[in-house]
Amino acid sequence: MKFRYEAFDGAGNLLVGEIEAASAEEARALVRASGPTPFALRAARPLDLLFKEVRLEMPGARAADAALARLARDLAVLLQADVPLDAALRIASATAEDRRMADLALRMREGILRGASLGEVMEGMPEAFRPDCVRIVQAGDVSADLGAAMQDLADLLDRRVEIRARVRSALAYPSLLVGLAAVSLWIVLGLLVPAVTPIFHESGMELPAILAALDALRAHSGTILALAAGLLCALGLALILGRRSPAIRRWLDRLRLALPVTGPIAETREAARFTRTFATLIKAGVAPLQALQTACTLVRNSVTRARLEASIADVRAGATIGAAMERAGALPLAARHMITVGEESGRLRDMLLRAALILERQDQARTDRLLAILTPAVTVLVSGMIAAIILSVMSAILSINDLALQ
């Protein structure tokens, strides 16, 4: 039976969720065991579905970082409170708002009950957990401190979610402008142009240039849309097939890094993701070489990943990580220097975290500068387009008035 509860956590925040239990007493006990203090509990009603958040998920898609971060943080709190692992997974499953996370926690619990470690269970679920997540938890298994490992994992995932959220929020306004421009163009083509052009045709007058272009665009809109859709599909198919070819993929990734504005942003973002993961793995107790290998697999750009793999080969041959990075040129100069200093001073983890923070700030600053230029540019472009259309229509209306006065 499902129960809907309201509770306060240790920080005084209000939590609302659903939990399955045989009775209200058991539901209250489960909520209390997970940490929050319940103050309201009632059986879930069908009307609650109207207010439940709807999520659309693709079958077989990897779980979202935000949902995994919530699950990892819940487990960290429970494990640090000395709750046994199987009980912690059961409680996390019962209190999870995301049904997929609840099922995932139950699957993990089944693996634990069969005698496997949490790291081994997660390694057997590649559709849900990336290699870096698995290595962090495996290090927690080895050090017998799973609570701290899950806390590190939650912090890492939360940082990724935060960076993506900043970029998306910054792109919201330019996207809104483009959408409004499309709506304005549709109104002009669908309503104003058909109302004005017949008058010119009947009087034998020539259409103004912009109005004639809009009329031609409206007349052939179906063909233009079909051609545009076909071109986009062909381009998308070519990119998908091209990414399967190592040579073409490397050429595309090299081109992406060579672009004048977005190239440095992409390079800094890849370096920040790698450095943050590398630092988190070392903090969790993973050996530096193994941490380097795992963090390297998360780099999406094949050119950058090839440079990092070259540095891994040098480290295996006996070189220090800093010297290998310098030779391969795999990271920005400041990050390479900080890694070298960290190795020499015995504070590699701290210097990696500091380098990751610097790279993330650089990425954010460059993205903000790009969007600071993009937003007014899109505003001027959209305003100019709408102004040109309005002036053209007004000019046409004035021409019709002159014709009527004659």
The half-sphere exposure of 360 on its side-chain side, counting CA atoms within 13 A, is 19
pLDDT for 297: 81
pLDDT at 43 over 80: no
Sign of CA dihedral 384, 390, 394, 397: positive
Q: Can you give the pTM of this predicted structure?
A: 0.62
User: Torsions phi, psi of 2, nearest 5?
Assistant: -95, 140
Report which of 20, 14, 115, 121 is spatially closest to residue 75, judged by C-alpha positions.
121
Task: State the Cα–Cα distance between residues 89 and 33, nearest whole angstrom.
Answer: 12
Dig out the tokens for 171 from the structure: 């792109």
Domain ranges of the chain: 2-51, 65-157, 264-361
Which residues are CB-neighbours of 24 under 8 A, at least 6 positions away?
3, 41, 43
Between the CA of residue 162 and those of 154, 167, 171, 251, what are the distances in Å? 12, 9, 14, 30
6-40: per-residue pLDDT in tens? 776 665 555 677 777 777 777 777 777 777 777 56
CATH superfamily ID and name for 65-157: Type II secretion system (T2SS), domain F (1.20.81.30)
**Would you identify the CATH topology of the domain 264-361?**
Receptor-associated Protein (1.20.81)
- Per the model's pLDDT, the better-predicted residue between 179 and 108 turns out to be 108
What is the tens place of the pLDDT at every residue in 115-153?
Answer: 888 988 988 888 888 888 888 888 888 777 888 888 888
pLDDT tens readout for residues 77-100 = 888 888 899 888 988 888 877 788
pLDDT of 51 > 50? The answer is: no
Q: Do domains 65-157 and 264-361 have the same CATH topology?
A: yes
Task: Note the pLDDT tens digit of each residue in 206-234.
Answer: 776 777 777 777 778 788 888 988 998 88
C-alpha angle 341-347-349 in degrees, rounded to nearest 5: 105
